[in-house]
Structures are given as C-alpha cells and as structure tokens.
C-alpha cells in the first residue's frame, strides 16, 4: 500500500510538470499530450489491482480523484473493482446529497443560429427548420405555463445570432423574474448561451443569473473544429476559455458538460476533469455542475453518423466515476435520457433532473407544435407531476429549492459549506419546504398524498433540533397558504 501511495504521489508530480493547469490558454490547460498520455496510462493500468485499490481508497475519503486516477477506474475491467466503483458512487451520492433531486426545466428562447455545429438541428444551413424567437409576451406565456407546472428553476437556451443579442437575453431574464402568477415564481434562471465577452458575462451576473452553463461538446480540438466548421463557435480557444471569462466577470457558479458520443468518451472524460481541475486551480472554485448529455436523434441529425456513441454500460460508469472524482459538483441529466436510463444514473450520482421538458421554442404553450423546432428528441415525455410521483415512489425527495443562490451561497462559499457538511442543515429542510409548496399548489391528489407522507417522515430525521422545529413550522405555514421560506 505504501508503494502504491508513492506511485500516486509521483503521478501527481508528473501531472504538474507535464502541463500548465493554471494557464489561461485552452490548449495548455486542456493539454492534448497530457490527455493522450492519461489515456495510455489508464489503459495500461486497467488491471493493476494494487493501483486500482489505492485509487478506490482515495475515492472513499470523498476528496475527489485526479483525471488520471479517474480514467484508470473508468477503464478498469475487473468485475469486482467495478462493482465497488458503483457501490461507492451510490454511497457518496447518499452521503453528500441524501435523497434530494433538484428539479428544473429548459426554456428555449430562440433557434436562430449562425453556427454550423453538425450535431445540432439549429445549425445555420438547416433550411427545413422553422425559425422562431420568442417575444417578451410569448416568454411570459411560456413562463406562466412553467409556473403552473410547479417549476421554480429554469435553464434558458438560445442559439447564437445577431437576432438574439445580450440585450435580448437580459430583457428576457428580467421578464422571467418579474412574472408572479398565482403562487408561482421563477426563483433561479440559469443561462446556457454562446461563449461571450467578460463585459457580457458581467451583464449576466448583474441580471441575477444562477449558473452559467456552456457545454464544451468535445475537448478534442481537431474533432471540435470538424464538428464546428463555421461560425464564431468554431473558435476552440474562445469557446474553451469561456468559463475563465465568466469567472473573471464574477459568475462563480458555472456548469460544464460534453456531448458524449461526438468524440472518444475517454478523451472527453479526461478533458472534462482537466477543465474542472483548471477552474479550481486558476479561479479558486471548480464547476458548480456537470451535465452528461449523450448524442440523440433530432431533425437533420442522424445518430448513426456518429461512430463514438456511448452504450449504457459505459454511460453508467461515466456517471459513477464523475461522482467519485468531483463529489461536491452537482450532476445533471436531461430528458434526452429515457425513464429507465435516468433511473439507473440517479442512483449513481445525478443530483438534478429536468422534468416535463419541451425542447422546442414556445413548446410549453398548450397548442404548440411539439417537434418542428426541437433541438433534440425527448426520451422521457412524462409530465412534471408524473416525474415527481415517480421520484417519490423511488424514495427520492424532489426539491424545488433555489435557496443557496438567493442567500449568496455561491462559488467557493457554497463549496466550503458542502465540503464541511454544513450544507446538510440547509438542503434537506429546504427540499422538504419547497416540495410542500409544490404539493400544495400543483400536485395531483395521489402525488400530494404520497409527498406529504414522506415530508412528515423526513422532518423527524432532521438532526439539528432547532432546524427541525423551524422546518416543521415552515411546512405548517405553507399548509396555511404562506410561501417562500428558506434556510
Ligand atoms: S449547438 Fe448551439 S451554437 Fe451550435 S447550432 Fe446548435 S444552437 Fe447553434
């Protein structure tokens, strides 16, 4: 064990010598040679039991893994070690996140786009795609529909186009936050728009966004350039360095992600973790969330054109090893995945899911055509109430909490609370309080009955007596019609 620990120390030293983790340049902090060597290292050590045991031991302490260690676990083919990887991911998930699953919905503002991303139907050359940009009044209608479903947290999505300048996005955010319909309110707007300038990120920060999300798609520069032949997004460095600019502008909650299936999964997995390590080293805080989309069918996109498709078995392991590598980073899975697939990965580390989603522009209106303007095909078509009922049946606590961001618990302040375990006094009770709001205002009678039974049982498990008493008072007040309590 001593020798293996020494090996791990040597690996760490080599890693720092090999590439510049703090460099502001994409090609230096996502060093191609370092990724290739890490892939080689992982493949040649995939049956090195002693090393794998030492990596698992490190993961058990909940302090995360470096990209080479994580890659070696990902490549491991020893069945007993793999079973322990899954078991440990399940345990860490339970220990750090309890039974909570945070709910959100995407809101597509516009599908006009100047880019040429070949895996996305919004690409500029797709002439059969009807183009639409929501007016502020249409955004109001969409948001009212989302509020009436029970959503409190949105992810704004938009293509990149002169039609949708930053002013349009800022105006849309203001419109969304201002809508108070019945007991509804959108309390956190996350934003997924194209890479932009520090100045524009500052404007987004001042508009009160939650997380700035930008998927890298692939970290493999050559493949990235083939997949993005035209438009501003074709600039690999500008895109990859976007999170540094967002952080410079004061946005300290950023969300990473790759589109698994575009390139070799191991390459992108290592790149993703190197990106997280870079943000932690250079900006003092790692990513708030990591999303794990897989390529799926859409208009003008044939998945069979992508030969790197990730099968379920590898997808599950990706989720489990990401959970071990960055235990304090939230992990998101969307309705691209089927109910069955989402159920599998919820156990392994996913902490946020979308529900009742439409991936079309204007898709939440009752009479909206549901496929014409979709960015991708939804695999889980269930309404939010069904998803909430399903989560309750599986023993999870659907949470509509947005408290951290509203209480200023973002960036390193949030991470410190999570790492010290203090967050447990907020998240669990906040999940119960916001679930109670959902049940009172939006749930079907069956879901309401199931949810209230769970809330009464869970209130008893809150360890801190004062917090337990306060949370119980909040739940009773919500039953009487009051709203918006939080720790
Ligand atoms: S992925 Fe984004 S930038 Fe690329 S075509 Fe689709 S909407 Fe445009």
pLDDT in tens, 343-371: 999 999 999 999 999 999 999 986 666 56
User: Would you state the structure tokens that stand for residue 108, as one six-digit string?
Assistant: 């597509």
pLDDT digits (tens, 9 = 90+) for 94-132: 999 899 999 999 999 999 999 999 999 999 999 999 999
pLDDT digits (tens, 9 = 90+) for 246-266: 999 999 999 999 999 999 999
Given pLDDT bands bounded at 50, 70 and 90, which one contains residue 311? Answer: very high
The pLDDT, as a whole number, for residue 181 is: 94
Examine the pLDDT at 15 and tell me if it is beyond 60. Answer: no
Length of the chain: 487
The pLDDT, as a whole number, for residue 367 is: 67
Distance of CA 366 to the CA centre of its chain: 27
Mean pLDDT value across residues 209-236: 98
Pocket (CB within 6 angstroms of ligand 1): 113, 115, 117, 120, 122-123, 159-160, 194, 233
Percentage of residues in the chain with pLDDT exceeding 90? 87
Strand partners, 257: 291
Examine the pLDDT at 472 and tell me if it is beyond 60. Answer: yes
* Residue of 108, 111, 113, 227 to test ligand 1 pocket, by largest number of atoms within 8 Å of CB: 113
Domain boundaries, the chain: 2-95, 96-381, 405-479
Mean pLDDT value across residues 433-446: 98
Examine the pLDDT at 17 and tell me if it is beyond 70. Answer: no
The pLDDT, as a whole number, for residue 420 is: 84
Given pLDDT bands bounded at 50, 70 and 90, which one contains residue 296? Answer: confident
CATH number 1.10.290.10 given to 96-381: no
Mean pLDDT value across residues 79-85: 98
Kindly list the distances between the CA atom of residue 284 and the CA atoms of 95, 258, 453, in Å, as whole numbers in the listed order. Answer: 24, 22, 42
Here the contacts of 427-430 (C-beta below 8 Å, separation 24 or greater) are 427/97, 427/98, 427/100, 427/399, 427/401, 428/98, 428/100, 428/397, 428/458, 428/462, 429/462, 429/467, 429/468, 429/470, 429/471, 429/474, 429/487, 430/399, 430/401, 430/403, 430/486, 430/487
Axis crossing angle, helix 2-18 with helix 49-60, rounded to the nearest 10: 80
Mean pLDDT value across residues 398-409: 94
Query: Could you tell me which residue, 299 or 90, shows the higher pLDDT?
Result: 90
* β pairing state of 254-257 and 330-333: unpaired
Nearest alpha carbon, ligand 1 atom 4? 117
Distance from the alpha carbon of residue 213 to the mean position of ligand 1, in angstroms: 14
Examine the pLDDT at 9 and tell me if it is beyond 70. Answer: no
Distance from the alpha carbon of residue 171 to the mean position of ligand 1, in angstroms: 21
Distance from the alpha carbon of residue 135 to the mean position of ligand 1, in angstroms: 20
H or E segment to which residue 267 belongs: helix 265-283
Which residues, in sequence order, are CB contacts of 407 under 8 Å at separation 6+? 486
User: Would you state the structure tokens that stand for residue 325, as one six-digit string?
Assistant: 């590598």
Distance from the alpha carbon of residue 179 to the mean position of ligand 1, in angstroms: 28
């Amino acid at each position: 064990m001593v020798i293996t620990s020494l090996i791990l120390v040597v690996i760490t030293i080599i890693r720092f010598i090999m590439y510049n983790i703090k460099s502001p340049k994409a090609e230096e902090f996502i060093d191609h040679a370092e990724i290739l060597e890490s892939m080689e290292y992982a493949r040649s050590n995939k049956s090195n039991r002693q090393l794998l045991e030492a990596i698992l031991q490190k993961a058990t302490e909940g302090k995360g893994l470096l990209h080479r260690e994580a890659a070696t676990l990902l490549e491991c083919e020893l069945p007993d070690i793999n079973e322990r990887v899954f078991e440990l991911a399940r345990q860490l998930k339970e220990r750090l996140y309890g039974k909570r699953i945070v709910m959100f919905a995407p809101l597509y503002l516009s599908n006009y786009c100047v880019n040429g991303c070949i895996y996305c139907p919004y690409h500029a050359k797709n002439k059969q795609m009807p183009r639409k940009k929501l007016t502020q009044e249409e955004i109001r209608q969409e948001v009212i529909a989302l509020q009436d479903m029970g959503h409190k947290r949105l992810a704004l999505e938009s293509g990149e186009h002169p039609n949708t300048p930053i002013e349009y996005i800022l105006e849309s955010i203001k419109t969304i936050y201002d809508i108070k319909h019945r007991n509804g309110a959108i309390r956190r707007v996350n934003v997924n728009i194209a890479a932009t300038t520090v100045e524009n990120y500052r404007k987004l920060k001042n508009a009160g966004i939650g997380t700035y999300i930008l998927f890298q798609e692939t970290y493999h520069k050559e493949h990235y350039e083939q997949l993005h032949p035209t438009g501003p997004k074709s600039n690999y460095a500008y895109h990859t360095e976007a999170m540094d600019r967002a952080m410079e502008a004061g946005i300290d909650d950023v969300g990473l992600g790759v589109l698994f299936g575009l390139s070799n999964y191991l390459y992108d997995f290592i790149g993703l973790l190197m990106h997280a390590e870079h943000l932690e080293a250079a900006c003092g805080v790692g990513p708030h969330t990591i999303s794990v989309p897989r390529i799926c069918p859409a208009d003008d996109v044939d998945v069979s054109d992508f030969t790197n498709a990730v099968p379920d078995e590898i997808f599950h392991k990706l989720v489990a090893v990401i959970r071990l590598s960055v235990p304090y980073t939230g992990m998101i899975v969307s309705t691209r995945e089927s109910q069955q697939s989402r159920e599998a990965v919820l156990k392994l580390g996913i902490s946020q899911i979308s529900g009742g989603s439409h991936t079309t522009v204007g898709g939440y209106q009752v009479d909206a055509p549901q496929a014409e303007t979709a960015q991708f095909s939804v695999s889980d078509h269930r309404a939010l109430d069904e998803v909430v009922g399903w989560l309750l049946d599986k023993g999870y606590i659907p949470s509509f909490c947005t408290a951290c961001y509203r209480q200023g618990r973002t960036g390193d302040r949030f991470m410190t609370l999570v790492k010290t375990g203090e967050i447990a006094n907020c998240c669990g009770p906040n999940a119960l309080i916001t679930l109670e709001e959902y049940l009172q205002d939006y749930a079907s009678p069956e879901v309401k009955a199931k949810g209230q039974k769970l809330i009464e049982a869970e209130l008893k498990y809150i360890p801190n007596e004062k917090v337990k008493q306060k949370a119980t008072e909040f739940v009773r007040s919500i039953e009487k019609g009051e709203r918006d309590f939080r720790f």
